[in-house]
Amino acid sequence: MEIKIEEQKLRIFCENILKKSGLPQEDAYIVADSLIFANLKGIDSHGIMRFPFYLERLKKGGTKANPKIKKVKEKAASALLDGDNGMGQVIGKYATKLAIEKAKEVGISFVGIKGSSHYGVASYYTTKIAEVNMIGFSVTNNTNNMAAWGGSKAVIGNNPLSIACPYKDGKPIVLDISMSNVAGGKVRLAAKNDQNIPKGWIITRNGEDTEDPSDLPKGGALLPFGNHKGYGLAVIIEILAGVLTGAGMLKQIPLWIKNVVDPLNVGHCFAAIDIEAFIDLKSFKERLDWVVQELKSSPLAEGSHGIFMPGEIELEVEKKRRKEGIPISEEIWQDLRKLSEDYQESL
């Protein structure tokens, strides 16, 4: 059975519980906003299903409710931040704001972070950059959950990447991908909803194909998309987000949904490009529109429903969910009911 919850109702519920967990008002808003952003876009693997895990880490001290974010190094176009192992969304929003400020001054910026936690959906940040008419970039590393190309066990994170470009009518073009065939959260969501998964998503702890999503937490691994391509990109992102920043790398990062007491020391990177440092904004959008129309004018393949720009389908999902409500499975609804009782917060 599927339950639909009105966006604002779910937002207030999350925000109030986060405040009761020790987060300041502004930080509680950011984390709740990130979760609702994901659900509205149909990226349910990074939405409300993650909420109980975030709360457990706050409760057990693995994530700090009031981190002291500080600049470790800074130049005109760059900065390295230490997030003091606070909420990844709070640290990510701080870094995004700094990246935008620097790009306004010098045209392009790059901000690295160490000492952070799981930051949710990567496009939450790049979309914020696109909203101010800049091109946004963000990557993060992650705990080992994906096999190397040719390997049979989890040795690297699926290390998400997002790039967003302003387009028109407040509808940016947004790429948001992880380096595995699917996000780990999709596998966990399938397990939560008692559903099978297609072969090629994960392997078992013995390196065998499986359709059982419960094989992932039993020592299985996600598989990289495009074989060597997804794996190669994951390695480069590990270098940027982990090696370059001084953050944790590979197995140094605990599995955040299980180990709720140790800091994660996740690394992120954010970049912003001021379009008008290269070309006037009007010309950029006109040229981009030409590219979009050229792509959309392609003849359709048999059975195709159309040609879509990155992020376009998510915008349509968002429009529908704002009107009809956010769909929640019975299993996740029960999780929220328990949180409602535990935190004395109505839903």
Number of domains comprising the chain: 2
Q: Kindly state whether residue 293 falls inside one of the protein's structural domains.
A: no
Q: Clarify whether residues 142 and 171 are in a common domain.
A: yes
Q: What are phi and psi of 316, to 5 degrees?
A: -70, -40
Same domain as 95, residue 188 = no
pLDDT value of residue 23: 98
Is the Cα dihedral 118, 242, 186, 188 positive or negative? negative
The CATH number assigned to the domain holding 116 equals: 3.30.1370.60
pLDDT tens for residues 53-71? 999 999 999 999 999 999 9
Asked if 89 and 150 sit in the same domain, the reply is yes
Cα angle at 239 between 233 and 243, to 5 degrees? 160
115 and 219 share one domain: no
Q: Contacts for 312-320 with beta carbons within 8 Å, 24 or more apart? A: 312/171, 312/173, 313/42, 314/41, 314/42, 314/43, 314/174, 315/41, 315/171, 317/40, 317/41, 317/42, 318/40, 318/41, 318/42
pLDDT of residue 324: 96
Asked whether residue 212 falls in the same domain as residue 230, the answer is: no
Q: Give pTM, 2 decimals.
A: 0.95
Q: Name the percent of the chain lying above pLDDT 90.
A: 93
- pLDDT tens-digit readout, 322-342: 999 999 999 999 999 999 999
* Residue 263 and residue 141 in one domain: yes
Q: Kindly report the average pLDDT of the chain as a whole number.
A: 96
Cα(136)–Cα(174) distance, rounded to whole angstroms? 9
Paired with 116 in beta bridges are 266
What does the pLDDT look like over 160-203, one tens digit per residue? Answer: 999 999 998 889 999 999 999 988 878 988 887 889 999 999 99
Q: Establish if 287 belongs to a structural domain.
A: no
Q: Would you state the pLDDT for residue 277?
A: 98
- Identify whether 326 is part of a domain: yes
In a domain, 9, yes or no: yes
DSSP 302: T
Q: Note whether residue 294 is domain-resident.
A: no
Other C-beta atoms closer than 10 Å to the C-beta of 220 total: 26
Looking at the fold, whether 233 and 219 belong to one and the same domain comes out as no
Same domain assignment for residues 327 and 228: yes
Please measure the distance between the N-terminal and C-terminal CA atoms of the chain and give it in whole angstroms. Answer: 18
In a domain, 302, yes or no: no
Q: Does residue 347 belong to any structural domain of this protein?
A: no
Whether 300 is in a domain gets the answer: no
Instruction: Let me know whether 87 and 166 are in one domain.
Output: yes
Amino acid at 114: K
Q: Are 172 and 165 in contact (CB under 8 A)?
A: yes
The pLDDT tens digits of the residues spanning 118-173 come to 999 999 999 999 999 999 999 999 999 999 999 999 999 999 999 999 998 889 99
Do 120 and 208 belong together in one domain? no
Residue 201 structural domain: 181-223
Query: In CATH, what number is assigned to the domain containing residue 188?
Result: 3.30.60.50
Are 151 and 274 found together in one domain? Answer: yes
**pLDDT value for 1:** 74
Q: Return the minimum-mean-pLDDT range out of 13-22, 182-191, 215-224, 304-313.
A: 182-191
| pLDDT for the residue 13 | 97
What is the percentage of the chain residues whose pLDDT exceeds 70?
A: 100
Residue whose C-alpha is closest to residue 310's, from 328, 287, 291:
291
Residue 243 has pLDDT above 90, yes or no: yes
d(CA 231, CA 244): 19
Identify residue 339 by its one-letter amino acid code: L
Question: Are 105 and 125 part of one and the same domain?
Answer: yes
Q: What is the signed CA dihedral for 176, 125, 240, 69, rounded to 10 degrees?
A: -150
Rounded-to-integer distance, Cα 123 and Cα 318, Å: 14
